[in-house]
C-alpha cells in the first residue's frame, strides 16, 4: 500500500499533474507489484518562496520543474527492486508529462506492514489487529 506525496511548484496543468500520478501508479504496478485499486496519492503545490532546493546537489542539474516524490511503502522490497522502481519512474515520467530525469527526486520511506490502517481502526495488513483481536 503505497502512500504517495508529490511536491512541485504551482502552475502545472491538471493534465500534467494527472500524468505524474498515473505514471507513478504505472511504475508501482510494473515494478513493485502493487495491486489494482491500491492508489492513494496526493499532490502538493508550492509558491517559489516555499520550494527550496539545490540546483546541483550530487552533480545533478535541477531547475524549477523539479518534482519531489515521497512514497511510503511496506519494507518488503530489496535493493534491485528499488533501483528498478526508480528507473521505471524516470522512464515513464520523462515520456509523459515530459519531466527531465534530473528533475525527478524520489524518497522511499519503508514501514512495517502493521503500521497501516485503511479505515475502521483496523490494522488490515497485520495478523493481529492493533486492538489485540485476530485479523
Q: What is the DSSP letter of 44?
A: E
Q: Which of 38, 37, 41, 29 is nearest to 5 (CA)?
A: 41
Please say if 35 is a catalytic residue. no
Q: Identify the active-site residue in 2, 35, 97, 101.
A: 2
Could you give the residue ranges of the DSSP H alpha helices within 8-127? 14-31, 79-95
Q: Show Cβ contacts of residue 28 under 8 Å, excluding neighbours closer than 6 positions.
A: 2, 34, 71, 85
* CA nearest neighbour of 32 among 131, 124, 106, 134: 106
Is residue 17 within 8 A of residue 43, CB to CB? The reply is yes
- Known catalytic residues are 2
Amino acid at each position: 500500500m503505497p502512500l504517495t506525496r508529490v511536491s512541485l511548484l504551482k502552475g502545472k496543468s491538471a493534465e500534467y499533474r494527472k500524468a505524474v500520478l498515473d505514471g507513478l501508479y504505472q511504475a508501482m504496478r510494473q515494478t513493485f507489484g502493487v495491486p489494482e485499486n491500491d492508489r492513494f496519492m496526493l499532490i502538493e503545490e508550492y509558491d517559489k518562496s516555499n520550494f527550496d532546493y539545490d540546483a546541483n546537489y550530487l552533480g545533478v542539474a535541477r531547475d524549477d520543474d523539479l518534482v519531489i516524490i515521497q512514497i511510503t511503502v511496506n519494507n518488503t522490497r530489496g535493493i534491485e527492486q528499488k533501483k528498478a522502481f526508480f528507473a521505471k519512474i524516470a522512464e515513464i515520467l520523462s515520456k509523459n508529462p515530459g519531466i527531465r530525469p534530473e528533475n525527478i527526486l524520489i524518497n522511499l520511506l519503508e514501514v512495517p506492514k502493521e503500521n497501516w490502517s485503511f479505515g475502521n481502526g483496523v490494522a488490515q495488513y497485520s495478523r493481529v489487529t492493533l486492538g489485540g483481536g485476530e485479523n
